[in-house]
Amino acid sequence: MDTSANKGNETVNAQGAVETKVDTIDYRSSAGQGQEQRNVQVIHQSHPTAGDSAASGGVLAGAAAAVASTLQSAKEAISRK
């Protein structure tokens, strides 16, 4: 595949995130059908990472901590009975 034809166009959206728009081709095929191709535009968004814990897995880490806390509370409640 010639990747030189897929150069992106970078812009900054209203929320301050960098968007890279890339024109490419989507290839699809279904059982019993021929291959279908169509032109599509893919938009990649890069969000600022300064102080943003979500960019470094903070959302999952926070969810894991909440689950661990809930399990610990359940263990303590069971052991008191």
Residue tagged 């019993």 (tokens)? 32
The CA angle 77-78-81, to the nearest 5 degrees, is 95
Please say whether the beta carbons of 27 and 15 come within 8 A. Answer: no
Q: Is the pTM of this model over 0.85?
A: no
- Continuous segment of H or E residues that includes residue 36: strand 35-46
Nearest to 19 by CA among 8, 30, 29, 32: 8
More confident call, 68 vs 5: 68
Q: Find how far residue 10's CA is from the centre of its chain.
A: 18
Q: What is the pLDDT of residues 12-63, one digit of tens each?
A: 877 777 888 899 999 998 888 888 999 999 988 876 665 555 555 667 888 8
Q: Which residue has the tokens 């699809």?
A: 28
pLDDT at residue 57, rounded to an integer: 65
* pLDDT (0 to 100) of residue 14: 78
**Quick one: pLDDT at residue 67?**
92
